[in-house]
Amino acid sequence: MGVNTFYYGEGMNEADFIATTEDERAAASTATASDDNSHRGGFRPIDPAVGDRGGPRYGEFIEQVRLFMDNVRLACPTPEMGDDLIDTLKDLNAKLASVQIDEWHTPAGTRIDLPARGNITLPPFTVDNVDKDAGAVDMTVTFTNYHLGGNNAAHGGQVAVAFDDIGGYASAVATNGICRTGYLKVDYRSVTPLNTPLKVRAWADRVDGRKAFIKGTMHDGDRLCAELDGLFIRLNPGQP
Ligand SMILES: CCCCC/C=C\C/C=C\C/C=C\C/C=C\CCCC(=O)SCCNC(=O)CCNC(=O)[C@H](O)C(C)(C)COP(=O)(O)OP(=O)(O)OC[C@H]1O[C@@H](n2cnc3c(N)ncnc32)[C@H](O)[C@@H]1OP(=O)(O)O
């Protein structure tokens, strides 16, 4: 698997989603949060320079943040440690506040070489395969302690988050465009374990114009954990 294939996978037509022309790259690299003229809808092509964004150790930084979230979820600090942690977090937040930029340029969500595009909002997943003809994607997702629902199982909302993004990915493949979710139904068939690589498959059951009817499954080995039934609608140009 080559660089960037975590996100759009082998066989994807990069030109459909990634800024490839000089004009697109210029628009992507000069746009700012207040630059409405360059806003081309709810999603826009990604500047292919994203691999450099955030520095060479950005992926490691995100892994540490994810570990931090896991550790917070099950931590019970002493009062003294709580004082210390608050001071440390104030320092960290001041540092991060000094490097805030707009959503189109922040590495989180645009680093297509990292699991879940480096987006800590999403459970980490990697792309195993993209089948453009079938409008199907295969991913591996791992929920960790941060995603705990109860009794060592993933929170149902986190399962839906994974399905929303991976279903959105399949719909992009199936419709050749960026989609928004119309509806998303999840059937929880059995408990979804934490800290276990799970196989997710999402595919277009039917495409009707802008509408992609996406089905999906999440498996722990042979065991079916959850199923997806969603409608994703391709955005028109400029649509928010
Ligand atoms: C970034 C790219 C990087 C490159 C990588 C390459 C590949 C992968 C690329 C990207 C994908 C990756 C990840 C995906 C990322 C995110 C996925 C998650 C997306 C979301 O999480 S997004 C947030 C939640 N989402 C919303 O926030 C939507 C709010 N909403 C609206 O924005 C509008 O509602 C909209 C736009 C949905 C439709 O509005 P609209 O005006 O364009 O169209 P309209 O209403 O006419 O509907 C058209 C036809 O859909 C039918 N229809 C509509 N809704 C329906 C429903 N609920 N049930 C049954 N049918 C429905 C109508 O009945 C009509 O059907 P018909 O044409 O047959 O009459």
pLDDT tens-digit profile of 76-129?
999 999 999 999 999 999 999 999 998 877 889 888 889 998 999 999 999 999
Smallest CA-to-CA distance from 124 within 44, 34, 63 is with 63
137 pocket-lining for ligand 1 (C-beta < 6 Å): no
Residue nearest to atom 32 of ligand 1 (CA): 180
169 pocket-lining for ligand 1 (C-beta < 6 Å): yes
Residue 47 three-state SS:
coil
Model ipTM? 0.93
Q: How far, in Å, from the CA of 212 to the mean position of ligand 1?
A: 9
According to CATH, the superfamily of the domain at 5-51+101-234 is Hotdog Thioesterase (3.10.129.10)
Residues composing the chain:
240
Per-residue burial over 142-173, b = 16 or more CB atoms within 10 Å of its CB, e = otherwise: bbbbbbbbeeebbbeebbbbbbbbbbbbbbbb
Check residue 106 and give its pLDDT: 86
For the segment 46-74, what is each residue's pLDDT rounded down to a tens digit? 554 566 789 999 999 999 999 999 999 99
Residue nearest to atom 52 of ligand 1 (CA): 182
Name the helix (H) or strand (E) containing 67.
Answer: helix 58-73
Residue spans of the domains in the chain: they are 5-51+101-234
Q: Which atom of ligand 1 is nearest to the CA of 233?
A: 37
47 pocket-lining for ligand 1 (C-beta < 6 Å): no
pTM for the model? 0.88
134 vs 50: which has the higher pLDDT: 134
Residue nearest to atom 47 of ligand 1 (CA): 233
